[in-house]
Structure formats: structure tokens, C-alpha cells
Structure 1
Amino acid sequence: MKINLSILLLLIAGFCLAQSNQFIYEYTFKMDSLNRNKSETENMVLQTSPKGSKFYSQVKQVYDSTMTATFKNAKATQQTHFDFTSLKQSKVSTEVIKTYPDYKRTLKKDISSNDLLINNDKKLDWKISKEKSKVLGYDVQKATTTLYGRKWNVWFAPEIPIQDGPHELCGLPGLIVKAEDSKGDHSFTLVGTKKIEVNPDEILNKKVSEIAINEEKFRKLWNDYKKDPAKDMRQTSGSSGSATVTMSMSYDGKTYSQDEMLKLIEKERKDALKKTNNFLELDLYR
């Protein structure tokens, strides 16, 4: 009996896909400890599968896919001008991967052009309170823990039997639907859910360029970056030699040459360091 090739491919693809829950959280954060009146928000996604979960910025996902497609096309067409005027930049670059059922966590962070992985297999020490309430229509219970030097108050919903939550928060008998640190500087609130079909292996996928390091190494890299935040850009620009093709870029309504863009990035990084000091993973930056 012959089977239509297209039907066979669909059947094979179906075995590779699994039902995934996407939980959308509104992340509210205050990055400047000297200006706690100013807060920013960004939607984050907790995407779960039978093998594990991934927590990432919705905006960053769009930004990364657009940039990848743009430079791939530029390489094929020898394009030398890039227009990113309408492309929205993410405020949050951090991602978190968790594996099930051990709930080992991998924190993905970047310093300059370095993509870094910090692995953590320590279980969170939860204190579950008898205090109960309702959040977003769910019956919830309060729990507290400490992570990266921050004390967290969270509300989990036992009726959603997923022991996961935003960022690295996980391990409770129900999905964490709301979380806030004790100072009120960082908070996550569930605002939406949906189901999609995904390849579980893609959720847990790691890039070839990502480097696994420990917390001590991360702190050293961060302190080096603070001393010279544009070092990597200068090295990349200077390593191409005389064969370098002159490029230009449109950004924020203006067009910049390669040298002008380098100076702009250096200025932006130095300015950001002055008012970016209240990180979610507080202990990592000390």
C-alpha cells in the first residue's frame, strides 16, 4: 500500500511535536535603585513542554528573529545598509531554561557580545504559608523564598498542576501566577495563556556560541565590562582589516556610518551603566 509522501511527512512531524502551554506574564521592574518612581514593563513568556520550559521576552523573540533574517539576507545579497527604524528593542535579554522533572535551571545572560550560561541545580527553599487568596480568578496560596539575594513573595495556583513559574521560580505544587520581591522592585503577573504545538527539543536548545560559566566568572566579566563597555565593538571593527566594507545603519530616525554607530553604542552603554544597577539577579552583579 502506497502512502502519499506529504501525509507521511505530516505524520512524522506530528510525532516530533507536543502540546505546549504558553503563559504570558507582565514583568514590571525598576532598574535604577536611585529612582524607584520610574518603572518599566515587558511581556515575558513561559513556554512549557513535557521535557521542560523556556522563559523569555516576547519582544526579544521578534527582535532576534528579525535580525537573524536581515543579516542572513544581507550576506546573500551583499547588502551594506540596514534600516532598523521600526524595530522595537527588548528591555530584557535574560532567558531561563528549566528541565523536567528535576527542575534544573540554566540562566542565559549576555555581557556585551558574550552569550553566557549559568547552570543551577539547587532546589529553591520554599516556605509555604497558610495564607490564601484569589488572583486572576484562581484560588492561590502564598509562598516565600530567596533567590540571588532577593526575597520573593509568590502566589501559586494548585488548580494548574505545573510546578513552574516566571524566571527561575519553580518547584511549588501549582503554577506561580504572581511573584514580587520584598522591595517591590521586580514583579511578574500572569496576564494570558494559550496552547501551541512545538518541538520540545527546540525549547531546550542551546546555541553553539553560548559559553557555560559559574557565578564567580560572571562577576569578573561584568566588572571588566563596566571598565570598558565598548571593548568588544572596537575589537570586532578593527579585526576585519582593510577588506572591511563600509556599512551604514538607520536607527531611531537617523542614519549612521559604521564609526558613528560605534561611538553611539559606546555612549549608550556608558549612560546605561549609570542608571542600571537594580538587577533581578542582584547577587550576580555584586
Structure 2
Amino acid sequence: MKIKLSLLLLMMTALYFAQSNQFIYEYTFKIDSLNRDKSDTENMVLQTTPKGSKFYSQVKAVYDSTMTAAFKDARTTQKVHFDFTSLKQAKVNTEVIKTYPDYKRTLKKEISSNDLLINNDKKLDWKISNEKSKVLGYDVQKATTTLYGRKWNVWFAPEIPIQDGPHEFCGLPGLIVKAEDAKGDHSFTLIGTRKIEVSPDEILNKKAREIVINEEKFRKLWSDYKKDPAKNLRQTSGSTSISAPVSVSASITFDGKTYSQDEMLKLIEKERKEELQKNNNFLELDLYR
């Protein structure tokens, strides 16, 4: 009886945790259209499962898990000081979820700490070329499409039978191993792969705090955010202005310097205003117009 129960438990575990491929891409981007000489990079992960895939920043995954664990611990220990000096912050907050086999896509964006989901079930209009090359040792073929107002050239590998790729790209007869927009402002290049065990539901399920909106609503929220990038933070902290007292006394250390919660609000507002001035060349161009 114990043997049967053990086998049953093993089978249930195998169903819950499926083999997942992780494809690591180097994302190179020029976020300031007025300074195209400067580019940034971030490693991104395309994690595929039998039910679908998730595309996300490798750095953000570490950052989010560390922050979640820290504040969860604080609720039980009443800790009021946090030292995140060594914690690297992500440059990319965008995530993309795709479901198989329909390849419906969900774009996850953040505006002022709000997690927003934009669903998209329109198939990409691909034009497959006869042009061939090699990327990371794979024989690849060229295809072109348009996404969010940008024209893209991509290379897919028929020998990797996964109709997926970085960001929202999918639907070609092979994994997309390289993608670059026509202006050379945004590009993804496959740099590595590995296999891990993971729960598909954990990757694909919508989180409680995520809000589903359409593109029109996103543009409205973005317009409001540009007018007052710290409004949400002030409301969350329980204050009506940056200088008003906050409801919780806490301190956080970044880059070796300790800030009170009120000082952090001021710092974040300053940084967000500076980011808005130079971040004007988003990958999803049409969403920000």
C-alpha cells in the first residue's frame, strides 16, 4: 500500500512539475531616441512549458523574489530597516505570457507599481524569406513582421520545433533565435539554453494584483502617469503630498545610503521624472503614442 501511495505521489508530482526549457536572450535597446549612441543590455528569459511560455527579465526575477521575501519576513519580525545595497535593479519590467497551442499573448507592463495586463489574440502577419544564415550554430531563416508600429527582421531555427520566441514573437516553424527592429534600436539574440523543472500553472496563472486593461486604457494611464509620476506612491503611503508624514516608519538602504520612507518617496519621484525625459523609445511604440 505504501508503495502504491508513493508511486501515486510521484505521478502527481510529475504532472505538476513539467520539464521546462529556458532560452536566454541578450536584449539590447536604445531607450533614448535622441541619444542613439548609448545602448543598454539585459538578459531575458523565455521559459517554455507544455501549456505556454513566459518571457521576463532575469534580473527582475531575482529582484522581485528578494523583495517579496524581505517584506514577508518583515510582517512577522516587525523589521523596519531593509538593506538592498547589493540588489541589482532591472532595466526591463515588461513580461509576456503566451498560451499553447493557440499562442494568445498577454503583455504585462508596469505603470507606477501597478501591474497591467494587455491581452492580444491577433496573429502576427509573417512574411518568410528565402534568406538563410547561422546564429549560435543553428541554421536559421529570415522572416519579417510588424509589431506595435515597428518593423522587425527575425531569424528562426526550424531544427528547434518550438513556435515561440522573445517578447510577443511567435508563430513561425521554429524557435526565433534573433530579432531586430528595422532601425536597430531593439534586438534580441539567443545566447544560451537550459532545462529546469517548473509548474506550468505557476508561470502562466494571473496574479491577484494584476489588472486586465485594453490598449486605450493603457494610453490613458500612461498619460496620467506622465503628469504626476509619484501620485500612486503618495496614495499608497497614506500621505497627500511628498512632504507629508507617512503612516509607517521604515528605512531602506540603497547604494550604501539609508533613506527614511519619506526620503525614498522624494528620491523615487525625482528618478521617475528624470526617466520620463529620456525614456522615449519604447519597444511597444504604439502603446505610448
TM superposition score normalised by structure 1? 0.96
Determine the C-alpha separation between the residues in 1 that align with 2:75 and 2:9: 31
Stretch moving more, 232-241 or 34-43: 232-241
Say if 2:238 is the partner of 1:235.
no
Cα-to-partner distance string for 1:247-273 (whole Å, 9 max, x where unaligned): 111011101111111110000000000
| The 10-residue stretch of structure 1 (132-141 or 160-169) with the greater mean CA deviation from structure 2 | 132-141
Aligned to 1:256: 259
Taking a change above 3 Å as real, the CA distance of residues 6 and 276 of structure 1, as seen in their structure-2 partners, is same
- What letter matches 1:79 in structure 2? K
**Inter-partner Cα distance in structure 1 for 2:23 and 2:246:** 47
Percent of aligned pairs with the same residue?
83
Q: Does 1:267 align with 2:270?
A: yes
Match of 2:175 in 1: 175
State the partner residue of 2:219: 219
**TM superposition outliers: structure 1 runs of 4+ over 4 Å:** 4-8, 239-243
Inter-partner Cα distance in structure 1 for 2:123 and 2:163: 12
* Counterpart position of 1:193: 193
Partner of 1:127: 127
Deviation of 1:195 after TM superposition, in Å, equals 1.1
Give runs of aligned pairs for residues 197-212 of structure 1, distance below 5 A: 197-212=197-212
In structure 1, the partner of 2:288 is 285
- Note closer, same or farther for the CA distance 1:77–1:103 as it changes in structure 2 (3 Å cut): same
Q: Distance in 2 between matches of 1:265 and 1:44?
A: 25
Verify the 8 A CA contact 2:239 2:247 in the aligned structure 1. no
Deviation at 1:136, TM superposition (A): 1.1
Deviations, residues 20-79 of structure 1 (Å, cap 9, x unaligned): 111000000000000000000000000011111000000000000000000000010001
Shift of 1:186: 0.3
> In the TM superposition, what whole-angstrom CA distance separates every residue of 1:112-160 from its partner, at most 9, and x where no partner exists?
0211000000000000001111111111110000000000000000000
TM-fit CA distance, 1:6 = 6.2
Measured after TM superposition, the shift of residue 5 of structure 1 is 6.3
SS of 1:131 mapped into structure 2: strand
> 1:10 deviation in Å?
3.7
Counterparts of 1:102-117 in structure 2, within 5 Å, are: 102-117=102-117
Answer whether contact 2:239 2:245 (CA < 8 A) is retained.
no
| 1:129-148 equivalent positions in 2, closer than 5 A | 129-148=129-148
Q: Supply the distance in 2 between the matched residues of 1:174 and 1:40 (Cα, whole angstroms).
A: 28
SS state at 2:164 partner: coil
Amino acid across the alignment from 1:147: L
The farther-off stretch of 231-240 and 250-259 is: 231-240
Task: Say how many residue pairs are matched.
Answer: 286
How far is the alpha carbon of 1:224 from its aligned partner? 0.2
- Could you tell me how far 1:281 is from its partner in structure 2? 0.3
Shift in alpha-carbon separation, 1:224–1:243, aligned structure 2, 3 A:
closer
Specify the code of the residue in structure 2 equivalent to 1:265: I
- 2:26 counterpart of 1:37: no
Deviates more, 1:48-57 or 1:197-206: 197-206
* Residue-by-residue CA offset, 1:75-108 (whole Å, 9 max, x unaligned): 1000111111010000000000001111100000
- What displacement does 1:245 show? 3.1
Which amino acid counterpart does residue 154 of structure 1 have in structure 2? V
- Looking at structure 2, the residues matched to 275 and 82 of structure 1 have their Cα atoms a distance apart, in angstroms, of 30
Report the RMSD for the aligned CA atoms in angstroms: 1.7
Q: C-alpha displacement at 1:12, in angstroms? A: 2.3
How does the TM-score come out when normalised to structure 2? 0.95
Aligned 8 A contact 2:237 2:246 in 1: no
The answer as to whether partners of 2:32 and 2:278 remain within 8 angstroms in 1 is yes
**Distance in 1 separating the partners of 2:239 and 2:36:** 41
